[in-house]
Amino acid sequence: MSHPTGKTALVTGASRGIGRAIAERLAADGAEVAVHYGTNKEAADETVSAIRRVGGRAFPVCAELGVEGDIDRLFGELMAGLDGRPLDILVNNAAVITYEATIEQATPEQFDRLVAINVRAPFFIIQRALPILRDGGRIINISSGVTWFATPEVVYGMTKGALNVLGRSLANSLGPRGITVNTVSPGITDTEMNSWLHTNDGAISGVASMTALERVGRGADIADAVAFFASGDGRWVTGQTLEVNGGLFLGPKTPSW
């Protein structure tokens, strides 16, 4: 695969989970990665250190998303780290979930916070990034399988559905600049957001039984898909949503008759 050696990347929500796996993979492929975090400086520093320990290049960028001035702070730190260089790869990964935000229980405050972090922030991050994003650059948004299968956490699902629409529209708008825009949609992945996998008896085996490949997803599984879109080999793919889920909910594995 054609790696992004010598290029620059911003990965939001990169201190833990899928975001960390993406940052580490892009750095391993040769990109210098801006590791964004909101509040967990210790985790972000550990991600940066892990990248540097194996010879990669990375620097931390702090900005709590969903609050006043978030985009200004993010790009202030990013521009300082880039030191005049353009941006080549943007990965919008940062997101939050509120399990209580169901149709029966969601509050206006919960709704607004989820939309602010999961939709508003990536939209305006892209808007601000476009002047410094190199022609031929890459934008990858991280969505979720809950855009096509139903869960009670309807507000979270709505925010991820918005990213799917955003990706298609931007791919069309930015095509003349050679910028590709794609969406990666993880299935059930073992991250801190899905800590219930380890607190509910039988959760891991239950999820494994729902997938064709019979295991729970890992951060690296998602990062590898992102790496393809970020690479030169992804140059002719844009406006797509890729389900990266091990064959989740494909159906029974044996005849039911």
Report the amino acid identity of residue 197. L
CB 33 within 8 A of CB 5: no
Report the amino acid identity of residue 211. T
Residue found under tokens 């620097």: 59
CB proximity list for 205: less than 8 A, separation 6 or greater: none
CATH, domain range 8-191+219-243: 3.40.50.720
Cα atoms in the 13 Å half-sphere on the side-chain side of 35 = 33
Q: Is 243 exposed, middle or buried (0-12, 13-18, 19+ CB in 10 A)?
A: middle
Confidence of residue 204 (pLDDT cuts 50, 70, 90): confident
| Other beta carbons within 10 Å of 24 | 23
Tens digits of residue pLDDT in 15-53: 999 999 999 999 999 999 999 999 999 999 999 999 999
CB 24 within 8 A of CB 223: yes
pLDDT for res 115: 98
Separation of alpha carbons 22 and 191, rounded Å: 13
Q: Which tokens hold the place of 253?
A: 């594995």
Tens digits of residue pLDDT in 175-194: 999 999 999 999 888 777 77
Rounded average pLDDT over 209-214 = 90
Tens digits of residue pLDDT in 56-107: 999 999 999 999 999 999 999 999 999 999 999 999 999 999 999 999 999 9
Report the amino acid identity of residue 112. D
CB 140 within 8 A of CB 94: no
Residue found under tokens 């919008």: 92
Q: Is the pLDDT of residue 202 over 90?
A: no
pLDDT for res 33: 98
pLDDT for res 68: 97
C-alpha distances (whole Å) from 163 to each of 20, 141, 238 are: 20, 7, 14
Enzyme catalytic residues: 156
The length of the chain in residues reads 257
Query: Which residue would you say has higher pLDDT here, 225 or 210?
Result: 225
SS3 content of the chain, % helix, strand, coil (to 5): 45, 20, 35
Q: Model-level pTM?
A: 0.94
Domain residue extents for the chain: 8-191+219-243
Q: What are the phi and psi torsion angles at 140 (to 5°)?
A: -130, 125
Helix/strand/coil for 59: strand
Separation of alpha carbons 234 and 247, rounded Å: 22
| Other beta carbons within 10 Å of 126 | 18
Separation of alpha carbons 87 and 69, rounded Å: 21
Question: Which of 204, 207, 160 shows the shortest CA–CA distance to 184?
Answer: 160
